[in-house]
Every structure is written in structure tokens, then in C-alpha cells.
Amino acid sequence: AQKVTQAQTEISVVEKEDVTLDCVYETRDTTYYLFWYKQPPSGELVFLIRRNSFDEQNEISGRYSWNFQKSTSSFNFTITASQVVDSAVYFCALPGRGYNKLIFGAGTRLAVHP
Amino acid sequence: EPEVTQTPSHQVTQMGQEVILRCVPISNHLYFYWYRQILGQKVEFLVSFYNNEISEKSEIFDDQFSVERPDGSNFTLKIRSTKLEDSAMYFCASSRDRGATPNTGELFFGEGSRLTVL
């Protein structure tokens, strides 16, 4: 079955620290896509990234980077030099079979303190 | 930038009352979804909708729930007889396509409608 596990419930860091959010997934599909969404305190869900299983290259976007490792079924998210504005809940997600939905992990709440 | 809009932002209702949550998806999107998030918990899929019919629904989406696209722009979620456990944030989302091909499938979410059932 399709499943996403985010084992870290909460992480607390001090500003400027680097932080990595873990995501482990299970899928029966041979090709698939993985997503990260951010939910700031205001509550909306903000799309961050989509990666497909063809491409295991790490991706960097400013202070954000993603490490996709098919061998360990992981798609980890690193924030470099964290800032208070990064405080949010971060969700990893995987399409369900048939691509009619996204399956979200439980989320990791990140608190960045000044 | 086009966005998904939801109304109301917050609704308080009495148990047993009917509630309709409204969504205006992005205009050129074809796939529509409802998700819910009970406070502090994960985002749960309710239903997906395409071509005027339900594509998939979850176990949560029982006979008390229905969806409709009454015109070319709105997408509604109706809860016929609300229960206390229906209290949650309800998110509408839309996508241009299903995501079965590369570089597709991004869901755009609205800001959510918070439902409080007393």
C-alpha cells in the first residue's frame, strides 16, 4: 500500500542551524512522484517541491535542499541556516494508486527560535 | 497568480445541521479535491472529482458527505447532518492534471474552511 512516514513529530532549532526533516515512503509503483508541502501557522498548504522517481539527483532551491534516495525509500528535506519564518508543519506526500489523491505523512512541526 | 478560494473561512454550526463549504478552483484546472485536517493531525483525503463525477473517495466520505460542481466555477462539499467529529479544517484543492506524467500533478490548495460543530 502507499504510505508516507514522517517519524519526527517535532523539531526545535535555533536560528541559523541546519535542520533535516525525514520522509520515508512505501509504494508499489515503479514510477512515482513525491511532494513536500509547508503549512505555516496561518494554516494554508504551500507546495514546495515535486520530484519524480526517474531523477535521484539532489535538488537545491536557495536554503532548501532535497535528498532523494530510492534505495532507502527516503526523500529528506534540509533547510540550511534556518530562519524564524521557516517555523511551520512540513508534510511529505505521495500519490495514491491511480493518481486520484495525495497521501500525506503525519507532518513534522518545525520550530525555529531566535 | 491564480489561486483556489474557499468560503467561509470559519463556520460554527450545531450538531445535526447541514453545512455547505464552497470552493472556487483555479479556472483551467480539471481535477478537484477535498481534504480535511482535524486540529493538529494529518491531512486526510476525502474525495476527488473529475468530469462531473467522483474519481475516488475515502472511508471518511460516507453518505453524509456529497460534492457537487453546480456551475462552471464552484465546487462544493455538503455535510448533511454534522457530527461533533466533523469539526476540522477542510481544504479544497485543484490540479491541472492527475499527475500520472512527469512534472504534473501539483495540487494547489485553498486556505481552508474551519468547521466547528457544537
What are B4's three cell numbers?
A: 483556489
Residues from B contacting A (CB-CB < 8 Å) are 33, 41-45, 48, 55-56, 58, 89, 91, 93, 98-100, 102-103, 105-112, 114
> pLDDT tens for residues B35-50?
999 988 899 999 999 9
Distance from C-alpha of A106 to C-alpha of A104, rounded to nearest angstrom = 6
Q: How far is B84 from chain A (nearest CA, A)?
A: 21
What are A65's three cell numbers?
A: 535542499
Which ranges of chain B have pLDDT less than 50?
102-103
The pairing of beta strand B113-117 with beta strand B10-13: parallel
Q: Which residues of chain B lie closer than 8 angstroms to A5, CB-CB?
A: none
pLDDT at residue B105, rounded to an integer: 64
> pLDDT tens for residues A49-64?
888 888 778 888 899 9
> pLDDT tens for residues A3-31?
999 999 999 999 999 999 999 999 988 88
Distance from C-alpha of A102 to C-alpha of A97, rounded to nearest angstrom = 9
Instruction: List the single residue in A33, A35, A43 with the smallest CB-CB distance to B112.
Output: A43
**Cα distances (angstroms) measured from residue A10 to each of A79, A89, B39:** 15, 9, 15
pLDDT at residue B103, rounded to an integer: 46
Decide if A103 touches B, using CB distance below 8 A.
Answer: yes
Distance from C-alpha of A112 to C-alpha of A92, rounded to nearest angstrom = 19
pLDDT of A1 > 70? The answer is yes
> pLDDT tens for residues A76-108?
999 999 999 999 999 999 988 777 788 999 999
pLDDT grade, residue A38 (50/70/90)? very high
Decide if A97 touches B, using CB distance below 8 A.
Answer: no
- Whether the CB-CB separation of B62 and B85 falls below 8 Å is answered with no
Compare all CA atoms of chain B with the CA of A42 and give the residue at the minimum distance.
B111
Mutation target vs B (from A31, A100, A103, A109; most B CBs, 10 A cutoff): A100
**B101 closest CA partner among A76, A103, A50, A66:** A50
Helical segments of B11-92, H only = none
Distance from C-alpha of B21 to C-alpha of B10, rounded to nearest angstrom = 10
> Given an 8 Å threshold on Cβ–Cβ distance, is A44 in contact with B109?
yes
